[in-house]
């Protein structure tokens, strides 16, 4: 690992594990030397020693280049601008420098294409199909770079790309040092900027855009202060200046409180787990942007955070959009409250790839393999917290046989299991939002008959035990997590992903816990049941105007006899070997 006390040389690289000093002779004095490039093995793998020696070589060659310029009558500063110290810089200065770095990458790519650009690509309505391509070698290099950077940690990036970043910022007279307080954060911003540039490169190569990039000279910072406004002239009318960025003394936490207040006034649900996720997101956003006052939050800050989530986490696009929605929604609350004058604008969200979240049902052989595992036939239990105790047996079984989703299953309590009001001979699970439960849509509120085999396996014993002990939920994991549906569902999803991959060796693309629900629907269709039965059992919404009428506050009215007959008739050979045990 790099020693923070040793400054960084711009000309240090590694080859075959040995540190090398590599430097080009500047163009203006190239004819004064019999070579174009300096390359010297430093004979060590110790990066600290190599950096120290490289800095010595920097001084030697800087001196020789300066002497050569003197002999030619050139300025001794031709190799670069005057040194600019970074003492006293605050985070916005470093953030601006990272933006300048990204803009410089995009500008260099544009200049490489510019000679072949025709006028039709530069008009008010540019014909993007005429954008020139870069060479196949350049495209291949960019694709490889993208793959590497997307899998890199910030620490990896700082170690391997700091020389590359230094080669750019040195043009401004800036030298990087690992002792700088914001070094790691600056390198993270540079990683974000470089990935954003690669996205621009791909859009240009795909002839889909990428023309509206800022020139590096338009980005102001300590190296280039914002231009002073011209003094007003007496007697001449002055245009109204734009509203300046100004703190308003309100934070996203204030917006959250206002949002809760608005929801409460309109008698809308405010779920504790939703608020926890919102709070986690806003704290992360403020840490990333370095801004806590909503009056200073700009569109670029949220877009930078969005790109950070896309490059530095394993989140799917839908999850990233949800997090961006938290912040943009709170800013809309601030706008409606009159705390800020403008919103963040449209097009904040990423387009969800067509192949993301395309779930597939488990095949018959996979279902048989799942329910032949010792968890389901001889009472074996995984002990880690994410396995969620008895849920590791019941949740997959209920999902498979009942067609319910995991969040519905984990919310089952003794109060929503009982006989149907019109047909008490039919035991049902009531999917409802009663008791502060949550359901995804109104249509999901329904009565689901309980498969008889589940009763024989001891499902009613769980219900009766929960009633005796005055527990709110059937499951120990929900009791332990104080009813946190998001956390318990997340725990079990994580467990199931590793269990199905490592223990069951199921690697079919698109399969997950939700695959049970898809398989349930396919089984209904194969048995010849129509949409009414499917919607009644699975809670799918009515389409068109029909769904806007009828009962809303109670589970939908359906023929429970037909639903029960359909559910009980589906053939499940897996049930022959399944046994429940409390051990």
pLDDT under 70: residue ranges of the chain = 1-10, 27-28, 69-83, 225-245, 351-358, 433-444, 540-558, 582-583
Q: Mind listing the pLDDT tens digit for each residue in 284-327?
A: 999 888 888 999 998 888 988 888 887 777 777 878 888 999 99
Q: Tell me if residue 518 falls in helix, strand or coil.
A: helix
Q: Which of 454, 413, 452 is nearest to 564 (CA)?
A: 452
CA–chain centroid gap for 18, Å, is: 37
Q: Tell me if residue 458 falls in helix, strand or coil.
A: coil
For the record, the structure tokens of 188 come out as 């993270």
φ, ψ of residue 552 in degrees (nearest 5): -120, -40
For the record, the structure tokens of 154 come out as 């910030």
CB 42 within 8 A of CB 18: yes
Q: What is the pLDDT of residue 240?
A: 39
Torsion (CA) 247, 249, 251, 254 in degrees, nearest 10: -150
Domain ranges of the chain: 12-72, 91-117+130-218, 252-336, 364-576
DSSP-assigned beta bridge partners for residue 60: none
3-state secondary structure string across 200-245: HHHHHHCCCCCCCCCCHHHCCECCECCCCCCCCCCCCCCCCCCCCC
Q: What is the pLDDT of residue 246?
A: 76
* Rounded-to-integer distance, Cα 61 and Cα 57, Å: 6
CATH fold for domain 364-576? hpI Integrase; Chain A (1.10.443)
H/E run at residue 12 = strand 12-15
CA–chain centroid gap for 189, Å, is: 16
* Rounded-to-integer distance, Cα 578 and Cα 401, Å: 13
* Rounded-to-integer distance, Cα 253 and Cα 433, Å: 27
Q: What is the DSSP letter of 33?
A: S
By the 10 Å C-beta count (0-12 exposed, 13-18 middle, 19+ buried), 488 is classed as buried
Exposed e or buried b per residue across 53-88, where buried means at least 16 C-beta atoms within 10 angstroms of its C-beta: bbbebbeebeeebbebbeeeebeeeebeeeeeebee
Neighbours of 17 (CB within 10 A): 6
How crowded is the C-beta side of 249, counted as CA atoms within 13 Å? 1
Task: Give the dihedral sign, CA 287/291/292/298.
Answer: negative
Q: Which of 216, 156, 163, 154 is nearest to 187 (CA)?
A: 154
Neighbours of 549 (CB within 10 A): 8
φ, ψ of residue 130 in degrees (nearest 5): -105, 10
H/E run at residue 124 = none
H/E run at residue 388 = none
Q: What is the pLDDT of residue 220?
A: 87
* Rounded-to-integer distance, Cα 379 and Cα 393, Å: 9
Concatenate the DSSP letters of all residues of 389-456 into one string. Answer: TTHHHHHHHHHHHH---HHHHHT--GGGEEE-SS-TTSEEEEE-SGGG---SSGGG-EEEEPPHHHHH
Neighbours of 379 (CB within 10 A): 13
Q: Where are the alpha helices (DSSP H) in 469-514?
A: 476-480, 485-498
For the record, the structure tokens of 214 come out as 């800022």
DSSP-assigned beta bridge partners for residue 18: 15
Q: Which of 580, 128, 519, 562 is nearest to 391 (CA)?
A: 580
* Rounded-to-integer distance, Cα 215 and Cα 201, Å: 15
Q: Tell me if residue 468 falls in helix, strand or coil.
A: helix
């Amino acid at each position: 690992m790099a020693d923070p006390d040793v400054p960084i040389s711009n000309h240090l690289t590694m080859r075959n594990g040995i540190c090398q000093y590599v430097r080009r002779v500047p163009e203006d004095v190239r004819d004064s030397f019999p070579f174009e490039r300096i390359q010297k093995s430093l004979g060590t793998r110790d990066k600290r020693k190599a950096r120290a020696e490289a800095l010595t070589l920097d001084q030697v060659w800087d001196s020789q280049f300066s002497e050569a310029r003197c002999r030619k009558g050139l300025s001794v500063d031709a190799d670069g601008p005057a040194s600019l110290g970074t003492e006293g810089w605050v985070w916005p200065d470093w953030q601006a420098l990272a933006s300048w770095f990204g803009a410089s990458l995009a500008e260099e790519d544009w200049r490489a294409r510019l000679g072949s650009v025709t006028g039709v690509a530069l008009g008010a309505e540019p014909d993007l199909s005429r954008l020139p391509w870069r060479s196949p070698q350049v495209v291949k290099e960019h694709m490889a770079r993208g793959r590497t950077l997307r899998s890199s940690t910030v620490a990896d990036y700082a170690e391997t790309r700091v020389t590359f970043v230094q080669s750019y910022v040195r043009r401004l007279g800036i030298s990087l040092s690992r002792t700088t307080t914001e070094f790691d954060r600056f390198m993270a911003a540079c990683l974000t900027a470089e990935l954003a540039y690669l996205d621009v490169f791909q859009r240009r190569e795909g002839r889909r855009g990428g023309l509206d990039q800022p020139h590096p000279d338009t980005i102001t910072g300590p190296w280039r202060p914002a231009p002073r406004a011209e003094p007003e002239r007496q007697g001449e009318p002055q245009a109204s200046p734009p509203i300046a960025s100004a703190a308003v003394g309100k934070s996203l936490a204030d917006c959250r409180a206002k949002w809760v207040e608005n929801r409460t006034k309109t008698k809308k649900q405010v779920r504790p787990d939703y608020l926890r996720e919102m709070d986690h997101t806003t704290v992360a956003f403020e840490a990333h942007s370095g801004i806590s006052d909503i009056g200073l939050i700009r569109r670029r800050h949220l877009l930078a955070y969005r790109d950070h989530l896309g490059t530095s986490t394993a989140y799917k696009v839908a999850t990233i959009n949800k997090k961006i929605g938290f912040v943009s929604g709170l800013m809309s609350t601030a706008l409606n409250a009159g705390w800020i004058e403008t919103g963040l604008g449209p097009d904040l969200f990423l387009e969800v790839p067509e192949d993301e979240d395309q779930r597939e049902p488990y095949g018959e052989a996979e279902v048989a393999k799942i329910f032949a595992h010792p968890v389901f036939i001889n009472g074996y239990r995984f002990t880690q917290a994410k396995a969620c105790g008895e849920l590791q047996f019941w949740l997959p079984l209920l999902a498979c046989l009942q067609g319910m989703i995991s969040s519905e299953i984990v919310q089952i309590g003794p109060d929503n299991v009982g006989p149907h009001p019109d047909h008490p001979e039919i035991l049902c699970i009531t999917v409802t939002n009663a008791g502060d439960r949550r359901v995804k849509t109104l249509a999901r509120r329904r009565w689901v008959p309980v498969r008889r085999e589940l009763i024989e396996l001891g499902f009613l014993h769980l219900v009766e035990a929960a009633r005796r002990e005055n527990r709110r939920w059937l499951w120990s994991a929900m009791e332990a997590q104080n009813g946190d549906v998001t956390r318990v569902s997340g725990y079990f999803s994580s467990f199931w992903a590793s269990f199905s991959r490592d223990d069951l060796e199921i690697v079919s693309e698109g399969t997950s816990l939700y695959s049970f629900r898809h398989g349930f629907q396919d089984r209904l269709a194969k048995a010849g049941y129509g949409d009414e039965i499917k919607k009644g059992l699975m809670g799918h919404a009515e389409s068109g105007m029909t769904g806007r009428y009828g009962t809303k506050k109670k589970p939908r009215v359906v023929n429970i006899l037909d639903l029960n007959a359909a559910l009980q008739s589906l053939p499940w050979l897996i049930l022959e070997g399944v046994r429940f045990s409390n051990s």
